[in-house]
Amino acid sequence: MGDSRILVRRKKRKRKRKLLISIIALLIVGIISYSGYEYTAGLLAAQEEAGEQTSTSQEDTNYAEDFQGAKTPEGKTNVLLLGVDQRGEEVTRSDTIMIGQYDADTDSTKLVSIMRDTYVKIPGYGYNKINSAFAYGGPELMRQTIKENFGIDIEYYAIVDFNGFTQIVDTIAPKGIKIDVEKDMYYKDGAGTINLKEGTQLLNGEELLGYARFRKDAESDFGRVRRQQQVIGAMKDKFISVTGITKLPRVMGTVQPYVETNMGMTSLLGYGKEFILNTPSEIETLRIPEDSNVWNDRVSGVGAVLRHDEATTEQAIQDFLK
C-alpha cells in the first residue's frame, strides 16, 4: 500500500516537472519569436525609409570577416566606435575614433576619444595620423594600431556613416535631442552647411551632426571631440528614455541598416538589455592625447599632427580602462 502511494506521488511530481518545463519552453520560444518579429519589423521599416542612403552595408565589405577581436582579460567589453565620412569616390576617412567600454559587473560605461591627428605607429605602414589606419585597412588595422600603441584589446567594432547618424537620431528622437549650443556656429564645406544659433534647443539628426562636427573656432578638433562626447551622453539619455525591454528589439532593428558591426543580434539585444536594466548614471570620458601631453608638429608627407609622449599616453588609457 505504501509503495503504491509513493509511486503515485512520484508520478504527480514528474507531471508537474514536465508541465513546468513545457511552460518555460513556451515562454522562451515566445520571447525569441517576439524579439525576432520586432527586430525584423524595425529592420524592414528602416530599410524602406533608408533606401540608397545606407553606405555601411556588410555586403560591400569584408570587415566582419577580417576583424580579429579579442576579449579583455578582465571580463569587460571593449567596442571600437568609428564615425566615417564617405564622399563620392574619395577614400573613406574615420573622423571619429572612440573606444567604448561596458562593465556589466559594475554597471559602468567609459568612453575614450582618440584625436584623429594623433601621431602613432600603424602596423605595416610606419608612423602616421591614427585616422589613416582605417583608410589603409579598415577596422581591423585600426584595432591592431590601438593594440600596438595603447595595449588595449578590442572585441567588437561598430561603424556609423555620417548619413546614417542623422537617420539614427531621427529614429530614436523624432522631435530632436536637447542640446545647449554654446555659441553661434556657421560653416560650409563639401559635406554641407552647419548653421546653428546659440541656446538650448532640440536638434534633429542633421543639426546634431553639424554640432558634433563643427571645428572652425579656436578649439578646433579639441572642441569637436568635447562636443562628440556631449552628444553621445545626450543620445544615451534619450535612448534610455524611449526604450524599454519590450521596445528594444524593434529599435535595434530600426538602427541596424545605418550601422556596420560584427556584433550579432543576440549580442546586441543582450548588451542592450543589460544597459537598460542597469543604466549607468553617467559615461566617464577621456580624451587622448591629454592636454598635458600634446603638442602640434608638422611631418613631411603627413602634414599637421598631434605629437605626444607615447608611454604617457599608453599609461593614461591603461589606467582609465583597466
The answer to whether position 39 is within a domain reads: no
Q: Where are the beta strands (DSSP E) in 214-310?
A: 259-261, 283-288, 295-299, 303-307
Q: What does each C-alpha distance from 56 to 101, 140, 160 come to in angstroms?
A: 23, 15, 7
**90 — pLDDT class (breaks 50, 70, 90):** low
- pLDDT, position 287: 96
- The continuous run of DSSP H or E covering 187 comes out as strand 185-189
CB-CB contact of 186 with 207 (8 Å): no
Handedness of CA 28, 32, 38, 41 (dihedral sign): negative
Closest CA to 177 of 155, 139, 137, 206: 206
CA distance 41 to 114: 36
Residue numbers of the domain that contains 179: 58-321
For range 255-264, the mean pLDDT: 82
With cell 544615451, the residue in question is 236
The answer to whether position 29 is within a domain reads: no
What is the Cα Rg of the chain in Å? 23
The answer to whether position 32 is within a domain reads: no
Any residues with CB less than 8 A from the CB of 187 and at least 6 apart, and which?
Answer: 193, 194, 214, 216
pLDDT for 269 beyond 90: no
With cell 576619444, the residue in question is 113
Q: Residue 128 is part of a domain; what is its CATH number?
A: 3.40.630.190
The answer to whether position 46 is within a domain reads: no
What's the domain count of the chain?
1
pLDDT for 312 beyond 80: yes
Closest CA to 186 of 218, 217, 226: 217
The answer to whether position 21 is within a domain reads: no
pTM of the model: 0.79
Model pLDDT for residues 30-82, shown as the tens digit of each residue: 444 444 545 565 666 656 665 544 444 444 457 888 999 998 877 789 999 99
CB-CB contact of 255 with 166 (8 Å): no
The answer to whether position 268 is within a domain reads: yes
3-state secondary structure of 171: helix
